[in-house]
Amino acid sequence: MDPRNISTQGRSLLNRRQFLGQTGGVFGSLGLMGLLGQQNLLGSSGESKTPIRPKINPEAPYAPRKCHFQGKAKQVLVVYCPGAVSHLDTFDYKPDLVKFHGKKPPGIPAVTFEGPTGNIAKPFWDFKPRGKSGKMVSDLVPHLGEMADDFCFIHSMTTKTSAHPQGENFFNTGSNLEGYPSRGAWISYALGTENQNLPAYVAINDPRGRPRSGKNNWGSGFLPAAFQGTDFSANALPSNLKLPKSISKNSEKMTNDMLKFLNEKHLEKFPGDTDLAARIASYELAGKMQMSIPEVSNIGSEPKHIIEEYGANSSNKTKSAYARNCILARRLLEQGVRVVELYNGANTPNGVNNWDSHSDIKTTHQKQADIMDQPTATLIRDMKRRGMLDDVLVVWCTEFGRAPFLQANGTGRDHNPDAFTCFLAGAGVKKGYSYGSSDEWGFKCADKPTEIYDFNATILHLMGLDHERLSYYHNGIESRLTAVHGHVIKDILS
């Protein structure tokens, strides 16, 4: 090639000395930027969005920490319903479903997640106006309906998946994949907890078992292991908490003191090993829980009228056990636990024991609602009259909704990731308020679409955390619960 046909810039790139000098400077700058980024020393034009990483003492990972700004909520209670609750049969009233019942209007796909579609189906339960707000809620959940004036409904929820395991992962961790930190892990990582004798984060499973994604729903992912949820319920407490009669309390204390000394010496040899620090902290917490858990889990100490109000004495054994879990959730929050998650529905091999209703939705949804409705509504009402909703944010949610048409079998509704309903209550949110909407069929989001990222960003905001700054350096990037997405839903804030 004739050098005269090459530009001046092109000829300069062919100069070896100049090329090495320029590229060396570029790589040096990139390295410097990486180091400054890890140490939060990079500047920014405009508002700073550099990460805020909590300073965590490995020997006391659950110590309370300051939030980014003054949040309205100090604690959060999540009621999660695995299996996908039908918004069309609970909280999202669509008169057109009645009008076009049995028909197949234009725009309805021939095939969805589980196969061929049937015709439009009206709600399987009647809707009625509730409270002063007149919010239309179905007779499937009459107890929650009575409290509609206290709830902030979001009717424009959307998600990115129509499969249950991935849906649970995405809702609770911000990723379809496993191995990412749960929402509760992010909050306990950021804020710790007030009561050092109890876990910062508790996951109370359905009496029948765990959801499809199991521990991933409350796992710590790539965050330090100390911030995973502690898994137990009122009906299955952690084992080996009771001190044997042959061991005195003084002997137990002396043994624990010696173990603490040895553990601290061992940890000094591996100062960067967060898994070791988490294991030591968890063992120390287990020792403290020998005293705290039996007391907080003593549901029998509750007055008789409270037991009856929750339904903990029901002849329906699963409802009774779930009601006991609801009482345990309230007692844990009263003792300062930062995050409590209640699960209503389990993945069991011997039949549908969650909200998944591909067939006979009238029976399956009614079965679940009979277990969930009264205890959950009573829990929220009980917390309200105790003044706890001034500090506690309540989140009722499910991974996606269900379709407005029946499946080919004519008795069930298929998955619907494009529109569903969740609600919030308590600290920091409007009461008796509805945000966003689905279309006339409840099939697609029609107004103010709300992604899971937005939902989680709003929960963090109410806890005094900036979702754009709460991050953890992992695999070369600043990872967040909301990835690179999410906006706080400001319209629902009180």
Three-state secondary structure readout of the chain:
CCHHHCCHHHHHHCCHHHHHHHHHHHHHHHHHHHHHHHCCCCCCCCCCCCCCCCCCECCECCCCCCCCCCCCCCEEEEEECCCCCCHHHCCCCCHHHHHCCCCCCCCCCCEECCEEEEEECCCCCCEEEECCCCEEEECCCHHHHCCHHHEEEEEEEECCCCCHHHHHHHHHHCCCCCCCCCHHHHHHHHHCCCCCCCCCEEEECECCECCCCHHHHHCCCCCCHHHCCEECECCECCCCCCCCCCCCHHHHHHHHHHHHHHHHHHHHCCCCCHHHHHHHHHHHHHHHHHHHHHHHCCHHHCCHHHHHHHCCCCCCHHHHHHHHHHHHHHHHHHCCCCEEEEECCECCCCCCECCCCCCCHHHHHHHHHHHHHHHHHHHHHHHHHCCHHHCEEEEEECCCEEEEEEECCCCCEEEECCCEEEEEEECCECCCEEECEECCCCCCEEECCEEHHHHHHHHHHHCCCCCCCCCEEECCEEECCCCCCCCCCHHHEC
Q: What are the structure tokens assigned to 461, written together? A: 């905001």
- pLDDT for res 46: 43
Angle at CA 488, nearest 5°, toward 482 and 492? 140
Interacting residues of 12 by C-beta distance below 8 A, sequence separation 6+: 18
Q: How far apart are CA 385 and CA 364, in angstroms?
A: 32
**Antiparallel, parallel or unpaired: β 111-112 and 450-451:** unpaired
- The whole-model pTM stands at 0.85
Give the whole-angstrom CA distance, residue 61 versus residue 226. 7
Rg (CA), the chain: 26
Q: Count Cβ atoms below 10 Å from residue 476 Cβ, excluding itself.
A: 7
| pLDDT by residue, tens only, the chain of 494 residues | 555 555 444 555 556 666 565 555 545 555 555 554 444 444 443 455 788 889 888 778 899 999 999 999 999 999 999 999 999 999 999 999 999 999 987 778 888 888 888 999 999 999 999 999 999 999 999 999 999 999 999 999 999 999 999 999 999 999 999 999 999 999 999 999 998 889 999 999 999 999 999 999 999 999 998 899 999 888 776 656 666 778 877 877 787 778 777 877 777 777 767 667 767 776 666 666 666 677 788 898 999 999 999 999 999 999 999 999 999 999 999 999 999 999 999 998 776 799 999 999 999 999 999 999 999 999 999 999 999 999 999 999 999 999 999 999 999 999 999 999 999 999 999 999 999 999 999 999 999 999 999 999 999 999 999 999 999 999 999 999 999 999 999 999 99
Q: Look up residue 315 and give its two tokens.
A: 């002849």
Q: Whose CA is closest to 237, among 183, 293, 196, 182?
A: 293
- Please tell me the distance from the alpha carbon of residue 395 to that of residue 152, in angstroms, as a whole number: 10
Rounded Cα gap, residues 340 and 75, in angstroms: 8
Give the pLDDT confidence score for residue 151 in this predicted structure: 98
- CB-CB contact of 12 with 18 (8 Å): yes
Contact status, residue 466 vs residue 458, Cβ threshold 8 Å: no
- The predicted pLDDT at position 31 comes to 54
